[in-house]
Structure 1
């Protein structure tokens, strides 16, 4: 046995070298790798589904191919796409899912993505984006002096989310938001002008229907109240005690929020929920545009910023309450600390939140005034 053991091991090693390491191996040139999917409705209400894929061919003049077809479901669209593309379609590398506002206004639109979660080969990390306008205008856009459109949009969204100008919601995150009764969903919004422009954040209601859009400045307020503000938040407030006329405004303070801490206390008073939000901001002064001779010490600057931000946050919460939505996720606190009351209204949390009391206690601390006085 000792004499035959080396021979046996050699035969096994030779057999392993002949076996392919990947039984379902496919060449990249034989695949249509879908990087971007778009869904829209035509004038008659028919479902339009678009796909954008890179072309891996030296002979091809266009380095991307886009297709748009009418279909009843995403799975049916994939079958129809395979009839016109030159290679096998795969969706595991999808980076973006574009949804028109017209689609987001329809009932049960999220049911279209059943196949996306049912098939493990599909990507659930794709960013979900609302499009203000026809999806086809975005899908067929070729940006100059920029990477491929899907890669350009991914970088635009991710960078803007790090700067708190919008949110980054993936398919997996959107599914969580749609099934969580303690908050309402929110996704990135863009629109096509001469270039693709970040529009802000689209807010949806409990059914997933489009309600309103947040400007980038409002999105920063949203992230503060969510306690999710990571990275810098550049903001500007006016100094009410200084009057300024003309094109050069000399009553503005600019600062960057470096750290946000938000704590929530939940109560039940007078047959409605009450929320006490303690928000602490650590800021760095980046600009002090005031007339010559005006002097503002650190305590005065903190007071001005605190008062202006307090007014902005309070007005923002009241605006959201009137829309009967809760992107802050305060319903989760109601469920955790006032479950008996929550269980009775969980199916209509948007209405209950609109009637709730929300008080904000803001505290601002300036950590750095800059190298000059």
Structure 2
């Protein structure tokens, strides 16, 4: 009897439970998949790219643009130009022009995205080398909708280790975390194709500082310990020659030791790499030459990583996140320089200690 009463009570509660008070049909919505931000003289130029669900429409993607002083203002203007309500809950990509980032921090423009809980904070944040308009109006009919194409290109490049993958929520952390500087995917239009060119590095103020090419981006991921998947890397048998050898980094681990000596931080970055050989352009007897080849590869990895570290120090940046180790292990010294960590890191002594082990040579020896 008691069980029947509980079942009856549940049915009554379900009947009385209110449903969705506001309905929004796809035909009445403007679902933004790509948001573009660029600078045009003294105003901001904002782009929205959204799919069109109306069966009678010939174009299946609608791109609208407006200029204004804030993202909120331009969104209101775009609302007045679209046939449906602008919805940001499916946002996949945020494109920011490099010319905008050279002048200012673009993060305050994105504040509106964090104010509304319906907005998507997993969108990929990407720097565009050149006018954002060129990417927004790129012809992607043979590949799919613009939002999906950009998403897939960045995801693929990230898996291949040729760029970083930074989402909006991660960008928020990088902006406000004093122990690290922001690093974003970078793309451009090349031969009418959307192409990922590497990684854009921002300074502590959120402005554009410099860029890393695809190979330097791979090394950055290696130093960050962020090579979760197999990452390709091309090296030379001897420095300066054409005898190249390509490897896949199958497994890697990074261990950072931190110290403070003679008024500056000292970091020793130990890297252990397990690699597979994918290509060689010179004859070699692997059974006899493996130890020597591993030694040469270690020297080359060390040299390439040290060059990257010098470039980062020159611009007073820390995309590696060495500030995390400094604060954890040498808090007193870190506290004195936290407001100028980039400057302190530029004076730090950083050594790279790689260990490369070739585990696989492919089918052919």
Q: What's the TM-score, normalizing by structure 1?
A: 0.91
Aligned to 1:50: 47
Aligned to 2:34: 36
Q: Tell me which moved more, 345-354 or 18-27.
A: 18-27
Aligned to 1:119: 116
Matches within 5 A, 1:264-303: 264-291=256-283, 297-303=289-295
Cα distance in 2 for partners of 1:50, 1:370 equals 47
Q: In the alignment, does 2:132 pair up with 1:135?
A: yes
Cα distance in 1 for partners of 2:203, 2:254 equals 24
Q: 1:59 aligns with which of 56, 60, 66?
A: 56
Q: In the alignment, does 2:78 pair up with 1:81?
A: yes
Q: In the alignment, does 2:20 pair up with 1:22?
A: yes
Cα distance in 1 for partners of 2:90, 2:73 equals 19
Query: Relative to 1, partners in 2 of residues 1:205 and 1:243: Cα closer, same or farther, differing over 3 Å?
Result: closer
CA drift at 1:82: 1.3
Aligned to 1:247: none
Matches within 5 A, 1:161-176: 161-176=158-173
Q: 2:218 aligns with which of 220, 226, 250?
A: 220
Cα distance in 1 for partners of 2:286, 2:338 equals 53
Matches within 5 A, 1:150-169: 150-169=147-166
The runs of 5 or more residues in structure 2 that have no matched partner are: none
Cα distance in 1 for partners of 2:309, 2:79 equals 48
Aligned to 2:196: 198
Aligned to 2:180: 183
The structure whose Rg is larger is 1
Cα distance in 1 for partners of 2:50, 2:284 equals 58
CA RMSD, Structure 1 to Structure 2 (Å):
2.5
CA drift at 1:316: 1.3
Cα distance in 1 for partners of 2:45, 2:11 equals 53
Cα distance in 2 for partners of 1:63, 1:102 equals 30
Cα distance in 1 for partners of 2:239, 2:171 equals 44
Cα distance in 2 for partners of 1:241, 1:71 equals 52
Query: Relative to 1, partners in 2 of residues 1:141 and 1:294: Cα closer, same or farther, differing over 3 Å?
Result: closer
Cα distance in 2 for partners of 1:174, 1:49 equals 19
Q: 1:357 aligns with which of 303, 327, 349?
A: 349
Asked whether the equivalents of residues 159 and 231 of structure 2 are also in contact (C-alpha less than 8 Å), the reply is no
Cα distance in 2 for partners of 1:73, 1:347 equals 29
Residue aligned with 1:223, SS: helix
Q: Which runs of 4+ in 1 moved over 4 A?
A: 9-20, 241-244, 291-296
CA drift at 1:292: 8.0
Asked whether the equivalents of residues 179 and 323 of structure 2 are also in contact (C-alpha less than 8 Å), the reply is yes
CA drift at 1:107: 2.8
CA drift at 1:288: 2.4
1:103-133 deviations in Å (ceiling 9; x for gaps):
1122343111221111111111111010111
Residue aligned with 2:165, SS: coil
Q: What's the TM-score, normalizing by structure 2?
A: 0.93
Query: Relative to 1, partners in 2 of residues 1:295 and 1:69: Cα closer, same or farther, differing over 3 Å?
Result: same
Residue aligned with 2:103, SS: coil
Aligned to 1:107: 104
The runs of 5 or more residues in structure 1 that have no matched partner are: 245-250
Aligned to 1:248: none
1:3-26 deviations in Å (ceiling 9; x for gaps):
9x999x889958956976322221
Asked whether the equivalents of residues 239 and 300 of structure 2 are also in contact (C-alpha less than 8 Å), the reply is no
Q: Tell me which moved more, 288-297 or 327-336.
A: 288-297
Aligned to 1:253: 245
Cα distance in 1 for partners of 2:11, 2:238 equals 81
Cα distance in 1 for partners of 2:92, 2:284 equals 51
